[in-house]
Structure 1
Amino acid sequence: MQLNTNRSSLSIKVVMMLLIVVIGFTCLPINIPIAAAADTITLTKGTTYQAIDGFGAAANKPVYDLQHNMSAVNQGAILDKLFLNSGSNAGLTMVRWEINPFKLSEDPSGIEISYCGWNNCTEDWSTDSHQRWFADQALSRYSAMQFYAVPWSPPSWMKDTATVKGGHLLPARYTDYANYVARWIQKYRGDFGYNIKWLSIQNEPDYENPLWATARYYNAEMDSVIGAVDSALTSKGIRSQVKLTSPEATSENVAMNFLNNMPTNKGLVDYVAYHNYGNDNSSLYAETKPKLMTEYNFKDETNNLWNPDNTTYDNQQAIDLAVRIHRALTTGGSNAAKGFLYWWSIGSNESLAQQLINLNTSGGTYAMSKVLYAMGNFSRVMRPGYVRIQTASSNPSLLVVATKVNSTSKAQLVVINTSASDITATVSGFSTSSTAASKLKTSATDNLTNMTDVTLSGGSFTQTFSAKSVYSFSEK
């Protein structure tokens, strides 16, 4: 009996001790994992920056092969891919146009022939039919297409080397050259009816190459030539119809050098044009003149950086280009670039990284670069005239840029996930009255794919952004 009593007492003591241990244990701080809150992306429509001019690429000599060496079916498919604003097409809105410099004896192919390649300048406007054909095809797919014109060189008879490939424009020919480019603008705008909106004096004036058309200018030379071209455009009554840009320097740093060394005629420059080949200089974006980034590509003659058989590698180039575009559009507040142009739209059997679409002229086939789709993520939703608005991302791996339509206040957003991991974020700042936004995606497995619309609730939605991807949203 006593034994049972002792056992009962012991049991009660054990239970009490266990209760004390459990209660004490639960009072201790325990590091239980808690799911992290999603990252955020915020749009602020009330804070605005520059208006968007557009996105595009160059025509130049390679479009001749598209016109003459590809089937009508493939021509149509390629042109749709570049210019239509639907499906998985890129919806480009700008074409960069070369003012051809050669005379026939200098270019036996007869493709890049100047309308005025000889001293007496007997005009021949039958030249350049390939670029006009390409422009007409672009216009048939986007009637508001904008054109940017630039010479790679003056005609050889105006230069100190008497050749298109290298050398300087002779001072005695400044007026001749100014009249030459002004007449081209007058003809193409007035008689042919193309919306040549911008004119640059020279492609890459800091660079000479004996293999293709180039011309070298020192700062003082460029300052004088800009003044002469301004006068020629004015005398023809077309100065107000075209924006005169600074020379298209190879980099931001060189562009700054030209701008800072125009003591007389910098004020005549309407736009700053520049290329993006190294030597970045963010101080360029302190310049208040509007800007266009007019050429960039991943050219590497040794490594051939575009490899359409390696989707991971090709996708990284798409991400890298999207980051380049983002930098141009967002650096400098309202002084940021208003547009971005790739190098060739079409290339023929060239270094594959130079063009958006590569033509195999011997086989009549073609291949798309994923870089084209990354450009489309911007061009499809950020149309000419849309205004950039303030955006903020809590995660530095999610790069963001957004615009709005002023008349409706509807917003468009591009998100670049630069990381190797998926990231979930809550996006806010769309109109509370809108219920949906369209979604486009480019990734290793998607080529500007139309995804299911996102549902907006109070102007917000939550999205998981796939690793190494570009997304575009457009408020409906």
Structure 2
Amino acid sequence: MRKKTLLYFVIGWLSMTVYSQTAVHINVAEQHQTIRGIGASDAWNFDPVGKHWSETVKEDIALKLFSQEVDANGHPLGIGLSRWRFNVGGGSAEQGEASNIDQPERRAESFLNADGTYNWEKQSGQQWFLNKAKTHGVDHLVAFVNSPPRFYTKNGRANADDHGGTTNLKAEHFDDYATFLTEVLAHFDNQGLTFSQVSPVNEPQYPWLSGQEGTPWTNQEIAQITGLLNQSILDKGLDTQILLAEAESYRVLYQNNTSYTNRDDQINAFFNPASTHYLGHHSQVLKGIAGHGYWTDTSDEEIISVRQAVAQKAAEQGIELYQTEYCLLSNDYDNYLSNSIFLAKMVHAELAIANASVYDFWTAIERERWSQKNRFYLIRLRPNGGDYVDLENGGTISADKNLWALGNFSYFIRPGYQRISTNNTENLSGLMSSAYLAPDQSEIIVVHVNWGNAVTEMDHLFYALPEGKKIKQITPYVTDATNNLQQKAAINSGDSYTISAKSVTTMVVELEASNGSVEDPVASQQQLLTGEKENEAIVYHDFLEWTIADANKIPSWYLQQDNGTYTDWVANPDQSGINGTATSLVTETQSPVDWWGNFLAFRLETPVTITEENRFLHILHYREHNNYGWSFQINTDAPYEDAGTYLGTLRFDGDNASDNTWEDVVIDLQHLIETGTPLEKILMIVDKAWESEKNSAPSKYYFDEIVLSASPFSRTSVTAIPGAVSTSSGLNVWQSAPLQISVSGLNMKQIDLFDISGRKVLSGKNLNNTPTYNLHMPATGLYIIKVRTTEGGILTEKVLVK
């Protein structure tokens, strides 16, 4: 009877399972940051655990955190962290309760004695794990400091009094602090434990009055200690790099903040050459900046906007971004599994949206107290006597789902791997993916985080694989409700794969040598929504009409022909970039924008059904002035004002990188697929000034080649053709049969065919001056042909295949 009841329950549950289907596009040609490592820290509990817990338990902790080995079934024994952060203590442990730190495990010993000598037996528990990290092959050991030694501080403690945001370090001890740090680095270097990086300040925005070691620092004070530390490292003959500045939140890296005067805007402060605190000239300073991911994860919109902003600011100064501390602080955390998948979602956001080169978790081991569930640990400590006793009596551990969720990244994405483009990086409410290419091009790692409640049937579509490579097989590793980084059966490159709800799945894509000289064609389905009115024979869809969206809310539009129209076809303002067409659509504003922005709407003569084959809307867009960005809104004649409801589904906001250049805006119409709604019209807000000063310059805006395609990759960022697309290339190109193009020219060595998104779909090599070469096209549409000659020249031609 019990079995029968259970069977009915299972059947009922399966009948309610929600499924979705999607294709994830991975483009090797579009490459981003190089990963330096993924790690965690030894705060706070590793010293007492290392001193008092059994060797068996300690070995198990080290194995789970550091090991890169697998068991007989291929299951990873650990998560293979490639970074380990060692806390260099300030001496609060020796003070006990007088340290102003109530929890004993948060007090740290110091190697420095009162008489200036050193005791290298201190922090012995942490040193035990430091040695184990090295033994297991951890790539980067990082020394980080919360407070200078208490003998150097103003109040004689390792946390501060209220000094108005200035450091607790005495002015006369700045040199001594730099010397202390290099003495520590040199000692461990002599022990074979070389620290790749040293971090001399931590969250300098906070006052750190109690509770743990810490001190504030102003930007001027950080610059001062950094210069002294840089010279001390050189004097010691070390090669350790200085990691700055461990900001308490990303916002203080790129914003001015009146609460943190002289402790904010730190990217500009330290890496803008015009800054009085510029540190980029120091030889040992990493050309990157560290921030902590706290307090920026309360909504998907906040996660995306903050990380886009800090990534842009770092890119402007040509530096890397490092996320060096995070655990689950600021959101609502309802159960163990969703907490772990949310952690994976945040790792994804740091790597794929913030473009971070480093990801470090905070407390790798911790007890579970005060109903905090698994918010603060990878491995749960279970002390003998319960969660609220001290740690001196030993205990046992249990590996949490957090450990394996982080392992879906850390075990596979090794230092030196480079992130490559995927189309769904910002789909934080459902299935999000990121991908990474190994330095030797032997494999691609694709990590899928499914935050949604739908089981997803997924296909991988790969573009521009390394030359001479093909996919051998794809092996999944799954963390979900029933799996912990569990290896699953390998699949072939063309097979679909089912991603479970609330899960993390890592795909190890093995690459091998290809024995073919011609790449396998990949179908390129696309439709032109509008094309040139001249010099283009076929337009698949055309505008029904252009309209003013709301005459009462916009300034006057330039009437191009003074006949009631608002656009016209004019000469292409720039044929030297990605748009080589002769003419393009232009509209022009005459007056500064009001808070609504300037906008037009167009309607399609025939609505278009959206499928996976035409899911991505590409709009070539050019503007004379880089005013206040753009917004494209789907199936409406008036703006969607509720960003929380429509952003990312029917409303898409963005900014051009620069003026006077063609850029490709790519819009994912997945929402129309999910709702079964055809594409009927598009609203174009060419200057969205609702959050800025109303001083936009009158400007011309151009549009061209509005395309529906299966490709999610921007024609701007994937520039397959160097230079202009020539219309007088010296090639003879003609359509010799249905879906067949013939190309003839002198001294042809290699011929490549690209679709409109810049994706290579065919290649013919070693032509040996073949006078005519036939290309069998995968589908109708626009293509670009590139021919390499034996003399090293490049000839290009754009063709329309019927």
Give TM-score, length-normalised by structure 1: 0.82
* Alignment-mate amino acid for residue 473 of structure 2: A
Map of 2:23 onto structure 1: 40
- CA deviations over 1:338-373 (Å, ceiling 9, x no partner): 121111112245555222112122152222221111
CA contact (8 A) 1:252 1:275 kept: yes
1:125 aligns with one of 120, 128, 150: 120
* Alignment-mate amino acid for residue 115 of structure 1: F
Map of 1:27 onto structure 2: none
Map of 1:134 onto structure 2: 129
Q: Is 1:248 paired with 2:279? A: no
Map of 2:502 onto structure 1: 468
Distance 1:259 1:201 in 2: 17
Distance 1:282 1:187 in 2: 40
Map of 2:360 onto structure 1: 341
Map of 2:342 onto structure 1: 320
Q: What is the correspondence of 1:7-18 to structure 2 with a 5 Å cutoff?
A: none
Secondary structure at the aligned position of 1:199 is classed as strand
Report deviation, 1:104. 6.0
Map of 2:295 onto structure 1: 278
CA contact (8 A) 1:178 1:229 kept: yes
- CA deviations over 1:440-470 (Å, ceiling 9, x no partner): 11112221111111222xxx33112111111
Change in CA separation of 1:37 and 1:342 when aligned onto 2, cut-off 3 Å: closer
2:278 aligns with one of 265, 268, 275: 265
CA contact (8 A) 1:428 1:461 kept: no
Distance 1:146 1:395 in 2: 30
1:152 aligns with one of 146, 149, 156: 146
2:86 aligns with one of 87, 91, 97: 97
**More helix per residue:** 1
Secondary structure at the aligned position of 2:237 is classed as coil
Q: Is 1:296 paired with 2:296? A: no
Q: Is 1:115 paired with 2:111? A: yes
Map of 1:361 onto structure 2: 383
Distance 1:387 1:405 in 2: 7
Map of 1:11 onto structure 2: none
CA contact (8 A) 2:321 2:357 kept: yes
**More strand per residue:** 2
Secondary structure at the aligned position of 1:455 is classed as coil
* Alignment-mate amino acid for residue 354 of structure 1: F
CA contact (8 A) 2:408 2:485 kept: yes
Q: Is 1:443 paired with 2:462? A: no
CA contact (8 A) 1:99 1:149 kept: yes
Map of 1:386 onto structure 2: 417
Report deviation, 1:375. 0.4
Map of 1:414 onto structure 2: 447
Change in CA separation of 1:228 and 1:339 when aligned onto 2, cut-off 3 Å: same
CA contact (8 A) 1:156 1:162 kept: yes
- RMSD over aligned Cα atoms: 2.6
Unaligned 5+ segments in structure 1 are 1-35, 308-312
* Alignment-mate amino acid for residue 121 of structure 1: G
Report deviation, 1:401. 0.7
Map of 2:689 onto structure 1: none
Give TM-score, length-normalised by structure 2: 0.50
Secondary structure at the aligned position of 1:452 is classed as coil
Change in CA separation of 1:395 and 1:210 when aligned onto 2, cut-off 3 Å: closer
Q: Is 1:427 paired with 2:460? A: yes
Aligned residues: 422
Distance 2:94 2:349 in 1: 43
Distance 2:212 2:437 in 1: 42
Q: Is 1:331 paired with 2:331? A: no
Q: What is the correspondence of 1:153-302 to structure 2 with a 5 Å cutoff?
A: 153-167=147-161, 168-189=168-189, 191-207=190-206, 208-238=208-238, 241-256=239-254, 257=264, 258-262=266-270, 263-267=276-280, 268=282, 269-270=285-286, 271-279=288-296, 280=306, 282-286=308-312, 287=314, 288-299=318-329
Distance 2:138 2:39 in 1: 13
CA contact (8 A) 1:249 1:274 kept: yes
Secondary structure at the aligned position of 2:490 is classed as strand
Distance 2:21 2:382 in 1: 46
Q: Is 1:60 paired with 2:43? A: yes
Aligned-pair identity in percent equals: 23
Unaligned 5+ segments in structure 2 are 1-18, 98-103, 162-167, 255-263, 271-275, 297-305, 386-394, 511-802
Change in CA separation of 1:122 and 1:68 when aligned onto 2, cut-off 3 Å: closer
Distance 2:48 2:470 in 1: 49
CA contact (8 A) 2:365 2:381 kept: yes
Distance 2:171 2:20 in 1: 66
- CA deviations over 1:8-62 (Å, ceiling 9, x no partner): xxxxxxxxxxxxxxxxxxxxxxxxxxxx994211211122211111211111341
Q: Greater shift after overlay, 275-284 or 93-102?
A: 275-284
- CA deviations over 1:99-129 (Å, ceiling 9, x no partner): 11106641487973211142x3112212122
Map of 1:3 onto structure 2: none
Change in CA separation of 1:445 and 1:404 when aligned onto 2, cut-off 3 Å: same
Map of 1:31 onto structure 2: none
Higher relative contact order (CA 8 A, sep 6+): 1
